A and B are shown apart, each in its own frame.
Chain A
């Protein structure tokens, strides 16, 4: 993989050489309605029908849905831009050899190193998917890149600070969160190194692209492509999360809180469903005071690693056959790690 991507970067195929090997999409024929016309007409119709459109959004449930949907998208945009910028920068600027030298050669060691490196990316989970993709494109072993993908949104300083603020006077919660998240990331990374099959991981579009232009054009091209791609899947995740957020009533949660074994599972699943940003989930966890601390820890460990928004984005970047296997494994490991950490530290 590393050699392959290296050779693609250095190949000096002329940029205007036409569709590569017949793999490019068919040319648009004249006279057919293209995407541009469709978009322009669609926008004009929507502008003209603005009143009619607003009429759809008067029911309180629909309004609440739209607000939560817009909120999820809006708050993710800066992080998505940051993540894609970093990813494009890694692809266009960081030499593959550097990353390979920076990480230990053997996956057994590279995975925990990459997991710890997650502590330096100050973003939430929206940023980490494109960055992990960029790392893989630069020849980092998938197991290590995936450990980074899981740990970055969970153990970075911003998230840990938020956790400390949400649980004042309880530093053991911060410690338990850090430990359980890092352990989950590393274990899942190792599991991937041992059992993962490369064919589950769809190579990203960027890696297939011949790259003969100047560095700036390559950077911009990679950035636009990846941003459009990731944000498209973010919208799918936002639709799902907003729907579940509005539809799932919170009241019944209280009734499940008393059951000891179940409560951890309930809050782990709630984290999957609500898709709260990892910078905020500690405050939500703090508010779920009817639940034992171990269950609230599971909410904070699972949330940054597996949620409906994230699964959609991973499916978009790495393919469905990866996303469901990876998320199911991660969820299992994360629940076990939080139950253990909760029992031991809290």
Chain B
């Protein structure tokens, strides 16, 4: 692999990283928000490295030109590892495709596991508000594990995307990541009493928790009797 090619691959990869982190919020589809400064630093470094490599390749070419062999074997760094061709793959997928955030396909296939909160310190009381806006994960933990059952008869509002339930019905779902999309954990709440909006569309659902017999098991999916479903745009950070 010639040094010019190495340079182009480095610049491609670096600018792909910069394009999704510095020039847009697209990186939030793939990684957590806190990674942004590191992505920008790494992107700048990789681009700079590519430019330096290109400059060195152009300079290094001069003395090698007159030896009759053509160019670019002046010294032994000139040929990079062949495996580096693979760098083109993520760069091209990022720059030309930019796949969307994970959605109902992933949520459908994930098991629903609401970890029982380990610290046996109990829960603080729920804040006031009607309807009470809660993160979906919080709603699910409270519904499954809070012994005080504070959700009983409270009107709550949940934000998430629509996932069809196999065999009819639907869930409002959130995926939560801690590092990147490969470690996404699914939270889902079954919605009753409302027509299913298109799969993957984002909605806020207002309704009242419907206690079920299987609450208190980590694979239980809580149920919300919906009174209102409103379509909303996808939030800036789909996993937050």
A-side residues, CB < 8 A to B, are 15-20, 24-25, 27-30, 34-36, 39-40, 42-43, 46-47, 50, 53-54, 57, 60-61, 63-64, 66-75, 77-78, 80-82, 162, 166-170, 205, 209-210, 213, 217, 220-221, 223-225, 227-229, 231-233, 235-236, 238-239, 241-242, 245-246, 249-251, 253-254, 274-277, 279-281, 283-284, 286-290, 316
Contacts and interface: CB of A to CB of B under 8 A. Distances in A.
Contacts of A280: 177-180, 183
A290 B102 contact: no
B70 A27 contact: yes
B31 interface: yes
Interface string B14-36: 00010010000001011100010
A169 B20 contact: no
Contacts, number: 251
B117 A168 contact: yes
A46 B96 contact: yes
B71 A28 contact: yes
Kindly list the 6 A-B residue pairs having the minimum CB-CB distance in the complex, ordered from nearest: A280-B179, A169-B119, A232-B83, A71-B181, A228-B84, A283-B178
B63 interface: yes
B175 to A, nearest CB: 11
Contact of A225 (B77, B111, B117): B77
A224 B182 contact: no
Interface in B72-113: 72-77, 79-81, 83-90, 92-94, 96-97, 99-106, 109-111, 113
B239 to A, nearest CB: 10
A233 B83 contact: yes
B224 interface: no
A322 to B, nearest CB: 16
A193 to B, nearest CB: 29
21 contacts: A15-B74, A25-B73, A25-B79, A29-B70, A35-B1, A36-B2, A50-B96, A53-B96, A53-B97, A72-B180, A75-B35, A77-B13, A78-B38, A169-B120, A221-B77, A231-B86, A232-B85, A241-B182, A253-B111, A254-B219, A289-B115
B132 interface: no
B134 interface: no
Contacts of B206: none
B163 to A, nearest CB: 11
A64 B179 CA distance: 17
Interface string B113-131: 1111111110000000000
B143 interface: no
Given A25-B79, A254-B111, A67 B20 contact: no
